[in-house]
């Protein structure tokens, strides 16, 4: 370490400064004691104010004495700064570059996660739709219901805005239900025909025809029941054996944060002000310019209030 950093006795410094004041005709301790002993009264203010004058002289002389080490400290600080500045500049620049790339990586990771969520949402939507429609097919009791289901499936097969690039998968799965719907339609139509035939046989009094029709209806009902199981099984198969949809993108790995801190920013100044989260800061430069333009004679005993600013006279003794 240099002599600049060595300990300097406070007593020696004080003695040198006191001597310097004495050479200026200012007896430091005497002035302090003299002013300490003064007691101001209503009658001696002008007479005893000399002690204040002497204290101000001491204060002014001490303020004017230059520290002999100041210049060397400036040089020392300048040298230190010449080493620190390049480090600060390079660190700040590289931290900014690193932060930018880290943000890009994090954004890329988020983009991929968002894409996975989007794809999964479409896939789940397709599966859920066909499970629901398969149950509707299985529970249909007349051909009109099946026609409605067919139309609904047809509209979904053409809904490119909803299924995007996976619309072909929707169409492929829809094709799997076509034969099932057709078989269900035929069975329901046959069942309806047999019911009408049974009514006619009963009207003709043909008991054997009625019994034969009922046996045929039982067979059709059994076939419809089997179709229900096939439809439901097919729906489960389409969901569990659904095409595996992967996002074929490799994201750069975002670096681990050195630390995480909570930051803030004002996004709606009006709301923040209303809730008390902002404060008014005086424009001192403009206020000072305004004060300088005011004439003392215009300022009354209670001051002058204008533009929300009070200007008043303050006496200094």
pLDDT at 249: 53
**pTM of structure:** 0.50
Tell me how far apart the terminal alpha carbons of the chain are, to the nearest angstrom: 48
* Cα radius of gyration rounded to whole Å, the chain: 48
| Among the listed residues 188, 198, 96, the one whose alpha carbon sits nearest the alpha carbon of residue 138 | 188
**Across the chain, how many H-helices and E-strands are there?**
11, 2
Torsion region of 7: left, alpha or beta (phi above 0 gives left; psi -120 to 50 gives alpha): beta
Q: Pairing mode, if any, of strands 309-311 and 304-306?
A: antiparallel
pLDDT at 2: 45
Return d(Cα 206, Cα 3) in angstroms, integer.
132
Q: How many other CB atoms are found less than 10 A from the CB of residue 294?
A: 13
pLDDT in tens, 91-141: 999 989 988 988 888 888 888 889 989 998 998 888 888 888 887 887 787
Task: Mark the ranges of the chain whose per-residue pLDDT is less than 70.
Answer: 1-7, 210, 224, 227-228, 230-232, 234-254
Tokens of 83: 């080493």
pLDDT at 4: 46
Whether residue 166 contacts residue 190, with contact meaning beta carbons closer than 8 Å, is answered with: no
pLDDT at 270: 86
């Amino acid at each position: 370490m240099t002599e600049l950093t060595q300990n300097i006795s406070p007593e020696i410094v004080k003695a040198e400064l006191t001597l310097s004041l004495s050479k200026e005709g200012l007896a430091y301790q005497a002035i302090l004691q003299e002013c300490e002993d003064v007691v101001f009264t209503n009658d001696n203010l002008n007479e005893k104010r000399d002690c204040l004058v002497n204290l101000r002289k001491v204060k002014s002389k001490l303020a004017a004495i230059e520290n002999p080490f100041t210049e060397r400290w400036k040089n020392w600080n300048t040298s230190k700064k010449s080493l620190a500045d390049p480090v600060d500049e390079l660190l700040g620049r590289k931290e900014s570059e690193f932060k930018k790339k880290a943000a890009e990586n994090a954004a890329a990771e988020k983009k991929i996660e968002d894409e996975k969520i989007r794809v999964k949402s479409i896939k789940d939507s397709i599966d859920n739709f066909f499970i629901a429609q398969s149950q509707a097919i299985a529970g249909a009791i007349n051909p009109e219901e099946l026609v409605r289901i067919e139309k609904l499936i047809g509209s979904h097969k053409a809904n490119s805005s909803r299924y995007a690039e996976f619309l072909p998968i929707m169409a492929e799965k829809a094709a799997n239900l076509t034969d099932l719907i057709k078989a269900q339609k035929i069975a329901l139509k046959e069942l309806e025909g047999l019911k009408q035939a049974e009514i006619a046989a009963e009207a003709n009094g043909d008991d054997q025809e009625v019994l034969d029709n009922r046996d045929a209806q039982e067979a059709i009902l059994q076939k419809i029941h089997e179709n229900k199981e096939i439809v439901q099984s097919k729906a489960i198969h389409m969901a569990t054996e659904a095409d595996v949809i992967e996002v074929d993108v490799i994201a750069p790995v975002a670096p681990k944060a050195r630390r995480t801190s909570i930051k803030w920013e004002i996004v709606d100044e009006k709301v923040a002000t209303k809730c008390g989260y902002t404060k008014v800061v005086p424009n001192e430069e403009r206020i000072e310019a305004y004060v300088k333009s005011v004439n003392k004679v215009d300022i009354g005993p209670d001051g002058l209030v204008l533009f929300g600013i009070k200007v008043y006279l303050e006496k200094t003794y």
